Amino acid sequence: MSLTRLRQLISEKKAPIAVGLDPMESVLPPSLLAEPDRAAAVLRFCEEIIDSVAKLVPAVKPQSAYFEQLGPVGQAVQYAVCRYAQSKGLYVILDAKRGDIGTTAEAYAEAFLGSEYFADSITVNPYLGTDGITPFVKLAKESDKSVFALVKTSNASSSELQDLITDGGTPVYMKLAERLATSYPADTLGFVAGATQASQLRELRAKFPETFFLIPGYGAQGGTASDIALAKDANGGGYIVNSSRGIIGAWKKAGTPENYGKAAREAVLAMKRDLA
Amino acid sequence: MSLTRLRQLISEKKAPIAVGLDPMESVLPPSLLAEPDRAAAVLRFCEEIIDSVAKLVPAVKPQSAYFEQLGPVGQAVQYAVCRYAQSKGLYVILDAKRGDIGTTAEAYAEAFLGSEYFADSITVNPYLGTDGITPFVKLAKESDKSVFALVKTSNASSSELQDLITDGGTPVYMKLAERLATSYPADTLGFVAGATQASQLRELRAKFPETFFLIPGYGAQGGTASDIALAKDANGGGYIVNSSRGIIGAWKKAGTPENYGKAAREAVLAMKRDLA
């Protein structure tokens, strides 16, 4: 499922939304927190969220860190969650932000996009240059999957390195974006561009009309629907917005810990209205 | 075990060498390749390498990708290898190149440096800025462990982003190094600086006399002992050189697949002589 397939799913579901599966301790309801087997509790939580949102959204974005934090069993839980989401027709963007070179990057690509396993897409870190990205794009192309490279992230300190101005007057993230856009096909490699960086989002869209954007930073981090509107392509699409805590932790605001799935579904519907 | 502890181990073993545990298919001898359980074969291979080099070197550097490539059981094998190396008195630098922000970076730090688990150090990617590094350094400081940030990598395309010249005339990697050196203590955060970048290694040492360097790129990638000598601090130390295939795949050159441990040990001794 390349980015073309993701675009289709977005248009079928009429929702440019990826539900972030970040099963950190603070979003687990008390009943699951009380279970002796944390890995089993995390798996159950993710499955319930997936069941609750699968009909409404095109994609989920599991965050590797919260699975790896479970210890030796973490990777197995991560795979189980990816498989389950795919069995429900969801496009799985594994947010692993891997970045290495040559045979090592090939091994990471194989680990997460290889035929035996089940992410449809993976996020990658571009600091090592195209050596670190090409093996992912190559495998993604062969298997109709996709890759998202970090370009402009949504966090406060993203400016430290990404916004350094180069001697030609262009910031680092834009130099990177130019190289990525000329090196890889737009239907396989997308950009991660944060909703908290509105002017940069506008500029990226202006320069890369064909590129697909994965947009973190909506909600909790401060990005709004009008910031996100700046990312729309000529057809009003070309992007997907991630929300994690705002959806999977919605039960906290609703005060319904035992109905965390229902609270997640309602949060998705509210987000859909907000974005539209 | 902070970097102070690593410095002590280097001086006890008289070898600034980390053995890279990159158990890719091409370094497994035929007898292990033939085993039906690849994960068990990888574990056995790493244990034999560890047994063979533990008395000679201060550290090993397991490369996460080759463990994750084993599938759902990969993380468990990775932990087992880290524990085994530590039981033999080795300092374990997990080459995971993680990079994320806030609570996610905390989760990664907990996964690999948390008290239950057993890496002494982890490599991190700086593209997201200090938000992405601080949680690792904080946990490392609390637990007498350490962190290595990618500064200048050893691969061919490392120049694409890392060597961009900023408007003040300083390259990106050096701006990054300046920020890292002023933000974090030198006994907790070291730099990854490749042996293939001799002039940059010299420049980094001149500007950061107190910083500890982890140096990849020796041997197979083209870095020589005289390149590495440029990284020495005023006391002739302050660095550790990683070699992976040159050691764990030494049996191929020696033509002794059933004595891959012995071949690794001899390759370490030869590397020790070459560096001295």
- Give backbone dihedrals phi and psi of B93, rounded to 5 degrees, phi first: -100, 105
SS3 A90: coil
Give the percent of chain B with pLDDT over 90: 93
In chain B, which among 29-88 make CB contacts under 8 A with chain A?
A: 63, 65-66, 68-69, 71-76, 79-80
| Chain B residues within an 8 Å CB radius of A178 | none
Are B74 and A72 a contacting pair at CB < 8 A? no
Are B104 and A130 a contacting pair at CB < 8 A? no
Residue B222: its pLDDT value, please?
Answer: 84
3-state secondary structure B41-66: HHHHHHHHHHHHHCCCCCEEEEEHHH
**Quick one: pLDDT band at residue B68, thresholds 50, 70, 90?**
very high
The yes-or-no verdict on residue B1 having pLDDT over 90 is no
Residue A116: its pLDDT value, please?
Answer: 63
The yes-or-no verdict on residue A262 having pLDDT over 80 is yes
The CB density around residue A225, as the number of other CB atoms within 10 Å, is 15
* pLDDT tens sequence across A161-198: 999 999 999 999 999 999 999 999 999 999 999 988 88
- Summary mean pLDDT of chain A: 95
**Quick one: pLDDT band at residue A128, thresholds 50, 70, 90?**
very high
Residue B116: its pLDDT value, please?
Answer: 62
CB A200 within 8 Å of CB A152: yes
First to last CA, chain A: 26
Residue A63: its pLDDT value, please?
Answer: 98
**Quick one: pLDDT band at residue A1, thresholds 50, 70, 90?**
low
Q: What is the distance, to the nearest Å, from the Cα of residue A145 to the centroid of all Cα atoms in its chain? A: 14
- Summary mean pLDDT of chain B: 95
Are A127 and B161 a contacting pair at CB < 8 A? yes
Task: For residue B113, give the chain A residue with the closest CA.
Answer: A69
The yes-or-no verdict on residue B137 having pLDDT over 70 is yes
What structural domains and CATH numbers belong to chain A?
3-275 (3.20.20.70)
Q: Smallest Cα–Cα separation from A91: which of A63, A122, A115, A67?
A: A122
| Chain A residues within an 8 Å CB radius of B153 | 101, 127-128
Q: Could you tell me where the DSSP H helices lie in A130-275? A: 134-142, 159-162, 172-183, 198-207, 225-229, 245-248, 250-254, 260-275
**Quick one: pLDDT band at residue A146, thresholds 50, 70, 90?**
very high
**Quick one: pLDDT band at residue B180, thresholds 50, 70, 90?**
very high
The residue from A97, A175, A252, A272 that is catalytic is A97
Mean pLDDT of A31-43: 97
The yes-or-no verdict on residue B151 having pLDDT over 60 is yes
Residue A195: its pLDDT value, please?
Answer: 85
Task: For residue A74, give the chain B residue with the closest CA.
Answer: B75
Lowest mean pLDDT among A84-88, A193-197, A238-242, B224-228: A193-197
* pLDDT tens sequence across B17-51: 999 999 999 999 999 999 999 999 999 999 999 99
The residue count of chain B comes to 276
| Chain B residues within an 8 Å CB radius of A244 | none
* pLDDT tens sequence across A109-127: 999 998 766 899 999 999 9
| Chain B residues within an 8 Å CB radius of A127 | 99, 125-127, 150, 153, 161-162
* pLDDT tens sequence across B114-136: 876 689 999 999 999 999 999 99
* pLDDT tens sequence across B75-114: 999 999 999 999 999 999 999 999 999 899 999 999 999 8
Structure tokens at B132: 């992405």
Residue A221: its pLDDT value, please?
Answer: 79
Give the percent of chain A with pLDDT over 90: 93
pTM higher than the cut 0.95: yes
Are A153 and B111 a contacting pair at CB < 8 A? no
